[in-house]
């Protein structure tokens, strides 16, 4: 079975092995999404000193922003143009999109999360954390998670 990389996790840890275990424990106990199978390939874990660390991190943050922008575009197509309209928004597709966007903004992981920052429980990387990574890169890791079929998700019902 082909297991694509579903998420990258940013972790602060003493070693790549410990970072991988941290991600596996996080996902095993996560109630928002669950996969039939998931695993980390230790040889794919990137340390902050690796050449591909920053491009991979920036690509993940960028992909999360693209997804958020898509959610905003969906809301605009549904006629939402001001914050005041939120109070009149009828339950349905638009409120589901808003809910998904809110989870992305408030740091709940979902199946659409390309990068998840476990250090800050976020889909972004703050300037403070970015500076910390630059100052002590060996302490930070990007852990690619390979997953099988999605079994359940609070944000995206599985049929």
pLDDT of residue 152: 45
Strand, helix or coil at 61? helix
Which tens digit of pLDDT belongs to each residue from 41-54? 999 999 999 999 99
Question: Could you give the number of structural domains in the chain?
Answer: 1
Cβ neighbours, 10 Å, residue 78: 17
Q: For residue 90, give the H/E element and its range.
A: none
Does 14 map to a domain? yes
Distance CA 72, CA 81 (A): 10
Identify any residues that bridge with 150 across adjacent strands, giving them in sequence order: 35
Does 90 map to a domain? yes
Strand, helix or coil at 85? helix
Distance CA 127, CA 109 (A): 21
pLDDT of residue 157: 46
What distances in angstroms separate CA 139 from CA 13, 58, 92, 135, 149, one per listed residue? Answer: 6, 18, 44, 9, 32
Does 15 map to a domain? yes
Does 72 map to a domain? yes
The DSSP string of 91-114 is TTHHHHHHHHHHHHHHT---TT-S
Max CA separation in the chain (angstroms): 51
Distance CA 149, CA 93 (A): 25
Does 159 map to a domain? no
Nearest to 121 by CA among 30, 18, 17, 21: 30
What distances in angstroms separate CA 24 from CA 5, 7, 68, 97, 121, one per listed residue? Answer: 14, 12, 26, 28, 15
Does 34 map to a domain? yes
Range of the domain at 84: 5-153
The one-digit pLDDT tens for each residue of the chain (159 residues) are 678 888 999 999 999 999 999 999 998 887 777 777 888 899 999 999 999 999 999 999 999 999 999 999 999 998 999 999 989 888 888 888 998 898 888 888 888 889 999 999 999 999 999 999 999 999 999 999 988 665 444 445 444
Which tens digit of pLDDT belongs to each residue from 47-86? 999 999 999 999 999 999 999 999 999 999 989 999 999 8
Does 158 map to a domain? no
pLDDT of residue 143: 97
Does 121 map to a domain? yes
pTM of the model: 0.86
């Amino acid at each position: 079975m082909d297991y694509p990389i579903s998420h990258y996790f940013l972790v602060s840890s003493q070693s790549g092995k410990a970072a991988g275990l941290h991600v596996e424990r996080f996902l095993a106990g996560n109630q928002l999404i669950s996969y039939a199978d998931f695993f980390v390939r230790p040889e794919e874990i990137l340390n902050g000193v690796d050449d591909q660390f920053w491009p991979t991190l920036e690509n993940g943050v960028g992909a999360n922003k693209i997804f958020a922008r898509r959610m905003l575009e969906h809301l605009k197509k549904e006629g939402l143009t001001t914050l005041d309209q939120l109070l009149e928004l009828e339950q349905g597709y638009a409120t589901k999109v808003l809910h998904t966007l809110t989870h992305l903004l408030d740091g709940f992981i979902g199946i659409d999360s390309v990068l998840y920052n476990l250090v800050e429980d976020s889909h972004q990387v703050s300037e403070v954390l970015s500076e910390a990574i630059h100052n002590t890169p060996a302490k930070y890791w990007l852990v690619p998670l390979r997953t099988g079929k999605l079994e359940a998700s609070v944000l995206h019902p599985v049929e």
